[in-house]
């Protein structure tokens, strides 16, 4: 009987598939790593064997299904987190199916597992007044304040992801007649985003103050190192809390770097920019991803409502004429 030791496939999946073939980002690798750490611990406890002794066949559809239920009930994971874990498991079994056709049926059963439907909340974004209050919060008399205002302005104008923003180098900023910023986006896709005149001017001043080579980080900490994702998130939260004093509507919003990204997209949409252009601007894989901004924009819905007129049909209520129809109506 042919056996398929799980450790060999897991190691090859991370080193060969993710690192070499897909060139996955460190964030993706860390997310997949955490998923398999939890899955292997769960499988080892349930089967009474160490993770090293597990076989690929041990991770069948029943075990994976029970694991997903476990992280929802015992660990309190949301449906969205559960789907993220399932996505990592699917990616692994796609890799196994390609390399081991004998396990194709086993893999297909796991790959057929559906994602759990979950409530999709309307996205959060900042209005123009809230954006201006946020940008006015940093103290421009200090080096840190000038750095932070430049970073906030760049984030809210370009819609860069927090990882893209933190990974920018001085050489990624191109100033001149067609000022733009280059970044390595999600899926290892490079893109260039144009800069408004006010943002280009702020970056020009910052680059003059932030001396160094093109290979050095654009935004650095007070120790000279690159700002981390967590550091950027803390800075955004700090200035949002300060901006609440001049803009009370911010008190009811949790402002994060991703909210600034949403705000940039909403500014484009409200100024008549086509959704296809917004998708290119943000580095989305599909134009359909930008559909969420249309759903969130109440102004566009109000404009559409103004183009309609009241109905002139007589008012009334449907009354079923049959007992069976009445039963169905009551459901």
Q: How far apart, in Å, are the Cα atoms of 288 and each of 101, 117, 278?
A: 34, 18, 11
Across the chain, mean pLDDT equals: 87
pLDDT for residue 317: 67
Q: What is the mean pLDDT of residues 206-211?
A: 89
pLDDT band at 305 (very low <50, low <70, confident <90, very high): low
Give the residue extent of every domain in the chain: 6-111, 128-306
128-306 has which CATH code? 1.10.443.10
**What is the per-residue pLDDT across 252-274, written as a single tens digit (0 to 9) for each?**
888 999 999 999 988 888 888 88
- pLDDT(1) > 60: no
Q: What is the mean pLDDT of residues 18-42?
A: 90
- Give yes or no: 32 in active site: no
Q: What is the mean pLDDT of residues 14-27?
A: 88
**DSSP track, 253-305:** ----HHHHHHHHHHHHHHTT--HHHHHHHHT-S-GGGGHHHHHH-HHHHHHHH
pLDDT band at 22 (very low <50, low <70, confident <90, very high): confident
- pLDDT(58) > 80: yes
Q: Residues of the chain with pLDDT > 90: what percent?
A: 56
6-111 has which CATH code? 1.10.150
23-32, 95-104, 208-217, 277-286: least confidently modelled range = 277-286
Q: What is the mean pLDDT of residues 84-106?
A: 94
- pLDDT(315) > 80: no
Question: Choosing from 33, 186, 191, 229, which is the catalytic residue?
Answer: 186
Question: Choosing from 82, 106, 161, 275, which is the catalytic residue?
Answer: 161
Q: What is the mean pLDDT of residues 145-171?
A: 93
Phi and psi dihedrals of 226, rounded to 5?
-70, 140
pTM exceeds cut of 0.95: no
Q: Residue written as tokens 């003059």?
A: 208
C-alpha of 234 from chain center: 17
**What is the per-residue pLDDT across 227-252, written as a single tens digit (0 to 9) for each?**
988 999 999 999 999 999 999 999 88
Contacts of 90 (CB under 8 A, 6+ apart): 110, 111, 113
Q: Residues of the chain with pLDDT > 70: what percent?
A: 90
pLDDT band at 308 (very low <50, low <70, confident <90, very high): low
Burial class of 70 by CB neighbour count within 10 A (0 to 12, 13 to 18, 19+):
middle
Joined tokens for residue 222: 């007070």
- Give yes or no: 261 in active site: yes
Query: CA triplet 246, 151, 153: central angle to 5 degrees?
Result: 55
pLDDT for residue 15: 93
Greatest Cα pair distance, the chain, in angstroms, is 82
pLDDT for residue 297: 59
Question: Choosing from 90, 191, 238, 284, which is the catalytic residue?
Answer: 284
- Give yes or no: 293 in active site: yes
- Give yes or no: 161 in active site: yes
- Give yes or no: 239 in active site: no
Q: What is the mean pLDDT of residues 34-57?
A: 94
Joined tokens for residue 183: 């970044």
**DSSP track, 85-103:** HHHHHHHHHHHHHHH-GGG
pLDDT for residue 302: 64
- Cα separation of 208 and 172, whole Å? 15
- Give yes or no: 42 in active site: no
pLDDT for residue 303: 64
**DSSP track, 12-37:** HIIIIIIIIIS---HHHHHHHHHHHH
Instruction: Give the closest residue to 183 by CA, choosing from 155, 202, 207, 208.
Output: 155
């Amino acid at each position: 009987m042919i056996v398929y030791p799980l450790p060999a496939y897991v190691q090859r999946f991370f080193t060969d598939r993710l690192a070499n073939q897909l060139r996955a980002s460190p964030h993706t690798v860390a997310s997949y790593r955490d998923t398999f750490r939890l899955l292997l611990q769960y499988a080892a406890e349930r089967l009474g064997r160490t993770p090293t002794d597990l076989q690929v066949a041990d991770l069948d559809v029943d075990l994976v299904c029970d694991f997903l239920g476990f992280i929802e009930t015992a660990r309190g994971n949301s449906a969205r987190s559960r789907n993220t874990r399932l996505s990592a498991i699917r990616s692994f079994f796609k890799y196994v199916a390609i390399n081991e056709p004998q396990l194709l049926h086993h893999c297909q059963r796991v790959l057929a597992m559906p994602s759990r439907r979950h409530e999709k909340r309307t996205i959060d974004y900042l209005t123009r007044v809230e954006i201006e209050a946020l940008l006015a919060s940093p103290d421009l008399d200090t080096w840190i304040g000038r750095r932070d205002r430049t970073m906030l302005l760049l984030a809210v104008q370009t819609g860069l992801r927090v990882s893209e923003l933190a990974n920018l180098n001085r050489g990624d900023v191109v100033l001149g007649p067609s000022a733009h910023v280059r970044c390595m986006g999600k899926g290892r896709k490079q893109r260039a985003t144009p800069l408004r005149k006010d943002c280009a001017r702020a970056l020009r001043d910052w680059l003059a103050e932030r001396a160094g080579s093109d290979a050095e980080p654009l935004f650095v900490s007070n120790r000279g190192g690159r700002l981390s994702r967590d550091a950027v998130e803390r800075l955004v939260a700090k200035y949002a809390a300060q901006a609440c004093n001049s803009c009370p509507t911010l008190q009811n919003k949790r402002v994060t770097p991703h909210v600034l990204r949403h705000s940039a997209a909403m500014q484009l949409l409200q100024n008549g920019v086509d959704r296809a252009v917004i998708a290119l601007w943000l580095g989305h894989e599909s134009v359909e991803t930008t559909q969420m901004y249309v759903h969130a924009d109440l102004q566009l819905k109000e404009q559409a409502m103004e183009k309609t007129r009241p109905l002139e049909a007589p008012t009334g209520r449907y009354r079923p004429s049959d007992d069976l129809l009445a039963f169905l109506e009551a459901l």
